[in-house]
Amino acid sequence: MIHWFFLEVAVMRIIGAIPARYGSTRFPGKPLAPILGKPMIQWVYQRALLATGLDDLYIATDDDRIAEAARSFGGQVVMTPPDCPTGTDRVWSAVRERACDAVLNIQGDEPALDPRSVEALTTLLRDHPDLPMATLVAPFASRRNFEDPNAVKVVLGREGRCLYFSRSPIPHFRDGSIRPDLIWRHVGLYGYRKDFLEEYTSWPAGNLEAAESLEQLRALERGVEIRAAVIPDIGCAVDVPEDIPRAEAALRGLGAG
């Protein structure tokens, strides 16, 4: 007689959240800015939906105008408190009551978001189910980019472990040369184990975080492991209205519009 044994395999459930607030200092109403005839938040949401590996996707906002626009194109909306100090806190507020193992924080100002970037994060989390936190890096386009304090640098160790993030050019090359295989630009998409995200958002800002104005340093300062997946480029973020033509050109290059 043949006996069949079936083992139950745990499947990691990963959900994504796109934090969206209206009151940006540099660009008020940014999530609703029209790009090729659609609000920016619609492009981000629909591009993220193209990725495999996400079990659900939400727009996290405290603004009725953003919520109404999102619902008009079929987006799932979670209303969050208006006093969330960061996008990470807004993401936690949106997912805390939802059943999942891990959470992706997807930036709401990347209308030309490459779905493969989302897939790189979900793959990293699934391959390392005990990893508390994950993010993305990309090569620098030029030395000028590497020296720009607005471009966040990452030093990577073995197996993609993030050793430090800085606005300064790191690592420092004493002989003046630059090795392209050692310089990485941070791409601000994050993945978290849900239980770690709850703990992380309860911590006060650390000294390094305050010095560099980089909240991921809150985790490194406490000895938390962060790993990064490498993607080909950094996309086309919209920080100010003047960035919109560049984003529209990127989308046209993808066949949109």
Sketch the domain layout of the chain as residue ranges.
14-253
- What's at 189, amino acid-wise? L
pLDDT tens across 14-42, in order? 999 999 999 887 899 999 999 999 999 99
**Residue range 14-253, CATH number:** 3.90.550.10
Answer yes or no: are the C-beta atoms of 219 and 133 closer than 8 Å.
yes
pTM of the model: 0.92
User: 205-229: per-residue pLDDT in tens?
Assistant: 999 999 999 999 999 999 999 999 9
Instruction: Please answer whether residues 190 and 104 qualify as being in contact, where contact means their C-beta atoms are separated by less than 8 angstroms.
Output: yes
